[in-house]
Structure 1
Amino acid sequence: MFPTPQPVVPSLQARVHPDEWQARLQLAACYRVFAMLGWTEMIYNHITVRLPDSVTGGDKQFLINPFGLHYSEVTASNLVKINLQGEVLDGSPYKVNPAGFVVHATLHGGMDGAHCVMHTHTTAGVAVACLQDGLSQSNFYSAQLHGMVAYHDFEGITIHAEEGPRVLQSIGNKPAVILRNHGLLAWGQTLPQTFAILWTLQRACEIQLATQSMGAPIPVPEAIAAKCTRDALQFNPNHGAGQDVFEALVRRMDKQDTGWRA
């Protein structure tokens, strides 16, 4: 019969550590928010969260979307728990996409601050990633990312582990990443912080595309851009780091669908 029935994963709430369940809820909500915003690419791309030591005992494990499902189908229970080798740890009936596992495992394993990693192929993001000069420091949003954007050259589909060290070298400590010819990536100490970084980068790309379709943008001077970044508090953990914005979007999504909580 068409379509092929997907496995039904019973609720894990009573079977996992409370901290893991909270991480599952937050990540599932994020997938649904991405779907609501249109930041999807069929069944591809990934948002991952590294589980806390209270859950793993110090091992590096993270949650990733089940390969084959659209973001709008992700729930707290059907997220897949894997280790840095890509091994499924929770008996999930779903597979993991190698193209997502390699980059995300590289960041979760190689950067202490990479609690959350997000990757998108939005039209605006890929378009700017294909430009020789990349992101233009010419709008309200790009000015808030002064000194925060890294670039990594395109090496093909990211399924080869040997690319990992070069990805880390390209990124350094910069949380907003443009994967040339490919798309956008962000990482952060919390999921809401990572979302705030990616949202700002995405908006900067959208405005850049709109501006360049009409003519040459007005550049923002370095000193002004640096001041904008210092004054932009949405990435700062002492000022919520995107928590209020993310919660507002979850409330909006909950009015449409609460199935992600299952």
Structure 2
Amino acid sequence: MQIPSLKNIVSPQEWRLRCDLAACYRLVAHFGWTDLVFTHISARLPGDEHRFLINPYGLLFDEITASSLIIVDQLGNKLNDSAFPVNRAGFVIHSAIHAVREDAGCVLHTHTRAGVAVSAQKCGVLPISQQSTFVRASLGYHDYEGVAVRDEERPRLQADLGNSSFLMLRNHGLLTVGPTIADAFLAMYLFETTCQIQLSAQAGGELIEVDTAIEQGVGEIAQRQTEGQGGTFVWPALLRKLERMGSDYQQ
């Protein structure tokens, strides 16, 4: 499937954002976090118009390219030509968050087996791993209301997320927010790994919980571990991994 390149049509800043978002879709596919075509990642475009890029609904994540991404506004209108629609649930969730979180440069949502499994547990995320301490320090929960296609759910999504970086959608999946695409991706890596560890640990013996006092100040520790760069510390290495796999996401 050939989609005309937008490289010389959009601004260099938008093209860089498109390439990073397409890379994020490819990495999500590589790590096995996809649910066919039914989840979504968005990235806010610069400016005051509250426009964001999102996937063309119907493409697998390993098919997405920089030029195939669709621009939508806060009303769900497509602002560039595309033969593909926008996932209604994707629009409701992402537009709700972008509308109230000026720091939300990227919103990443998954339906992984581990993520949905933990989201269905009353206990939520348990403090049983180093990874969980980073997640629990900035974690919200949102109760399941059915497939997220109704605008009236938006205020509750916004309230339940608050200022958190991680949101567990009960009986549904995981969501992360970051100032950059790299930050949202690293947050999801931690969130997904936390859930996988929890399920594995629960299959064994009695659990040892981490002292919740350790969760205090983990944000500062995370910054120290990434030399103050957050997700951008690991992003170049991930892009090199994609280059070794093939760079057609930049088309």
Query: TM-score, structure 2 length as denominator?
Result: 0.96
Percent of aligned positions that are identical? 39
The aligned residue for residue 5 of structure 2 is 11
1:185 to 147, 172, 175: 175
Partners of 2:29 and 2:179 in 1: CA distance: 23
1:246 lines up with 2:235 in the alignment: yes
1:124 lines up with 2:117 in the alignment: no
Q: Is the 8 Å Cα contact of residues 65 and 250 (structure 2) preserved in structure 1?
A: yes
- Identify which range, 107-116 or 70-79, moves more after superposition: 107-116
Cα 1:15–1:227, aligned 2, differ >3 Å: closer, same or farther?
closer
1:168 lines up with 2:158 in the alignment: yes
Partners of 1:105 and 1:15 in 2: CA distance: 25
Q: Is the 8 Å Cα contact of residues 107 and 178 (structure 2) preserved in structure 1?
A: yes
Q: Structure 2 matches for 1:201-216, cutoff 5 A? A: 201-216=191-206
1:46 to 33, 40, 43: 40
Partners of 1:234 and 1:79 in 2: CA distance: 34
1:32 lines up with 2:26 in the alignment: yes
Q: Deviations over 1:77-99 (max 9, x none)?
A: 00011111111101122110101
The aligned length equals 251
> What amino acid is the match of 2:32?
G
> What amino acid is the match of 1:32?
R
1:136 to 126, 130, 139: 126
Q: Is the 8 Å Cα contact of residues 146 and 229 (structure 1) preserved in structure 2?
A: no
Cα 1:61–1:227, aligned 2, differ >3 Å: closer, same or farther?
closer
Partners of 2:98 and 2:174 in 1: CA distance: 17
> What amino acid is the match of 2:28?
F
The aligned residue for residue 151 of structure 1 is 141
1:110 to 82, 85, 100: 100
Partners of 1:235 and 1:12 in 2: CA distance: 37
Q: Is the 8 Å Cα contact of residues 196 and 235 (structure 1) preserved in structure 2?
A: no
TM-superposed CA distance for 1:233, in Å, is 2.0
TM-superposed CA distance for 1:65, in Å, is 0.5
Does the residue aligned with 1:243 lie in a helix, a strand or coil? helix
Partners of 2:239 and 2:193 in 1: CA distance: 19
Partners of 2:196 and 2:230 in 1: CA distance: 22
Partners of 2:217 and 2:67 in 1: CA distance: 43
Q: Is the 8 Å Cα contact of residues 125 and 136 (structure 2) preserved in structure 1?
A: no
Could you list the runs of 5+ residues in structure 2 that have no partner in the other structure?
A: none
1:65 lines up with 2:55 in the alignment: yes
Q: Is the 8 Å Cα contact of residues 28 and 76 (structure 1) preserved in structure 2?
A: yes
Which aligned segments of 4 or more residues in structure 1 are displaced greater than 4 angstroms? none
Does the residue aligned with 2:129 lie in a helix, a strand or coil? coil
CA-based RMSD: 1.5
Does the residue aligned with 2:234 lie in a helix, a strand or coil? helix
1:85 lines up with 2:79 in the alignment: no
Partners of 2:128 and 2:202 in 1: CA distance: 10
The aligned residue for residue 74 of structure 1 is 64
TM-superposed CA distance for 1:227, in Å, is 4.5
Q: Is the 8 Å Cα contact of residues 36 and 253 (structure 1) preserved in structure 2?
A: no
> What amino acid is the match of 1:29?
A
Partners of 2:240 and 2:133 in 1: CA distance: 29
TM-superposed CA distance for 1:228, in Å, is 3.9
TM-superposed CA distance for 1:239, in Å, is 1.2
